[in-house]
Amino acid sequence: MAEVPTKPAQKPRPVSPSTVQQAVQKPTAPPSFRIRRVSKRERYLKLLVYGNYGTGKTHLAGTASEIPELRDVLLINAESGDLTLDAFEYIDEVTIHDFKTLARVYEFLKAHCAARDANDEDKLEAMQRKFFYAAEDEELELRRYKTVIVDSLSEVEQYCLNALLGIADNTKLDDEVQSAEWSEYKKNNSMMLRLARNFRNLPMNVIFTCAEAYTQDETKKMRFTLDLTGKLSKKIQGFMDMVGYLQSGQAQHEEGKQEVTIPRRLSVTPTPRFDAKHRYASFKGTHFDNPTIGKILKETGLLSKEGALLKG
């Protein structure tokens, strides 16, 4: 049988250096992530303050307006308890009565921050005109929000559960409503975690307030923690750089001794009695007495002596 002639193998053509260079320099899709030095990041305060009603959580959050670089400040008011902020300037307020409105406020802030960082004054003014209570011919001072206060997470969670149960403002007090079951609590957990994460990721200072709850841990010991359902208390703490337990000041009377005044105290390290945390290596203490946002920023190394926010 005659052999079938085989085709001689072709030698690969040499690739010129210019061809290789063109292939390397060919435009590609944007990278899916970026790497940067930790010390070069923009620093924002991510703070959660919890405690009993009347201890001054809202007032503490409001002291952010005393720091020029934290202005302007937007208060998202879910508790209708803003009287304590009357003495502060540079704070704007939006009152919410349902979870849906809070979601729209978040979307506004996300777009606002993008326009703020791009210095797009036309867009900032258009957004401000759309959402502000103002007459058409009224001259408004352009806002550049650097801080948002959510007051409080306990009320926000109730709005979230109400939405899942179909409870609205027009629901009558004597209407029979659905009771929350496992599926509603599971959805509530997911929605509240998304809320905390999304607000935490905004390029601005974020301050949450929350009521306290007295709970029993796995060792049967009682301790103070956030007034949120299930595991939300622990998980939301994980999103924040500082979680502080606020206690109001009080006077102690001891027989035969002079009266001793205990200051208002924000504890930021955990004890067997309460949850707390912070991630600031430069802060060696356990608490702040008579706290303000300015004092917290200075003692954690985020604020210079001249009052400027530090990077890195």
**So where are the chain's domains?**
40-299
For 226-269, the pLDDT digits (tens) are 999 989 999 999 999 999 999 987 655 555 565 656 688 999 99
Cα separations in angstroms, 244 against 49, 74, 112, 267:
5, 21, 28, 5
Of 25-29, 128-132, 236-240, the least confident: 25-29
Q: What is the pTM assigned to this prediction? A: 0.82
Give the pLDDT score at 255. Answer: 54
Is 145 or 181 the better-scoring residue by pLDDT? 145
Q: Is the pLDDT confidence value at 209 over 80?
A: yes
Per-residue confidence at 4, pLDDT binned at 50, 70, 90?
Answer: low
Architecture of domain 40-299 in this structure: 3-Layer(aba) Sandwich (3.40)
Band of residue 306 on the pLDDT scale cut at 50, 70, 90: low
> What's residue 309's pLDDT?
62
What is the mean predicted confidence (pLDDT) over 190-207? 96
pLDDT band with cut points at 50, 70 and 90 for residue 213: very high
Whether 43 and 294 have beta carbons less than 8 Å apart is answered as: no
